[in-house]
Amino acid sequence: DVKVTQSSRYLVKRTGEKVFLECVQDMDHENMFWYRQDPGLGLRLIYFSYDVKMKEKGDIPEGYSVSREKKERFSLILESASTNQTSMYLCASSLWGDEGLFFGPGTRLTVL
Amino acid sequence: AQSVTQLDSQVPVFEEAPVELRCNYSSSVSVYLFWYVQYPNQGLQLLLKYLSGSTLVKGINGFEAEFNKSQTSFHLRKPSVHISDTAEYFCAVTENSGYSTLTFGKGTMLLVSP
């Protein structure tokens, strides 16, 4: 089975801090994704990557950046955390479009 | 661009009753369709998917969905629900060519009570 792990289940940060959310997948998937999930809004795509050192903006990239130095690892960076970035962050990976996505357990981030 | 509409934000049902969760999509090209389930405090898990062929697809935990191209729908059904089916369900769509990303609906919370 594909395993996608995220570095933290819960995280509390202060406004203005730089925040790193790490995601690792163990199935050699080419594609990795970061979504945020908010009540009533569903999942919204922040950034995705189809290859090492490659990144593409999703629907809501403002305030975020990403890094993919190795195939198995995809990091989401909040350069200066703000309270409106309090959310559940979900990482996912996939091999092909028809396989769907494999999700990690999520990181619930609270910015105070 | 593609989009997904889940018509109900919450669906309350009694245990052992049938349930249908509705999903409509919009796309100018052929699509793949998915249903995911999210149990409390967990990530999303794939329930089932439609790629091509038979319009009735069966998934895990007794769920099934029917693809209806003319009505651009992909409704999820289960003939008899259990308490353990209480979860949030997400419908998702992607174009079936190229590097298209998955677009999710806003989710439907299924609440099963005894």
Rounded-to-integer distance, Cα A52 and Cα B67, Å? 35
Q: Å from B42 to nearest chain A CA?
A: 5
Q: Is the pLDDT of residue A100 over 90?
A: no
The CA-CA-CA angle for residues B37, B38, B40, to 5°, reads: 150
Per residue in B26-46, pLDDT tens? 988 888 999 999 998 888 999
Q: Is the pLDDT of residue B97 over 90?
A: no
Cβ neighbors of B28 (< 8 A, separation 6 or more) are none
State mean pLDDT over B98-113.
88
Nearest to B31 by CA among B98, B76, B111, B108: B98
Give the pLDDT band of residue A86 (cuts 50, 70, 90).
very high
CB pairs under 8 A between A and B: 57
Nearest to A73 by CA among A34, A108, A17: A34
Rounded-to-integer distance, Cα A27 and Cα A29, Å? 5
Per residue in A50-80, pLDDT tens? 988 889 999 999 999 999 999 999 999 999 9
Is B88 an 8 Å CB contact of chain A? no
β A87-94/A102-103 pair status? antiparallel
Q: Is the pLDDT of residue A37 over 90?
A: yes
Query: Looking at chain A, which residue has its C-alpha nearest residue B100?
Result: A97
The CA-CA-CA angle for residues B50, B22, B55, to 5°, reads: 30
At residue A1, the pLDDT reads 66
Q: Is the pLDDT of residue A96 over 90?
A: no
Among the partner-chain residues A42, A97, A104, the one whose CB lies closest to the CB of B104 is A42
Q: Is the pLDDT of residue A84 over 90?
A: yes
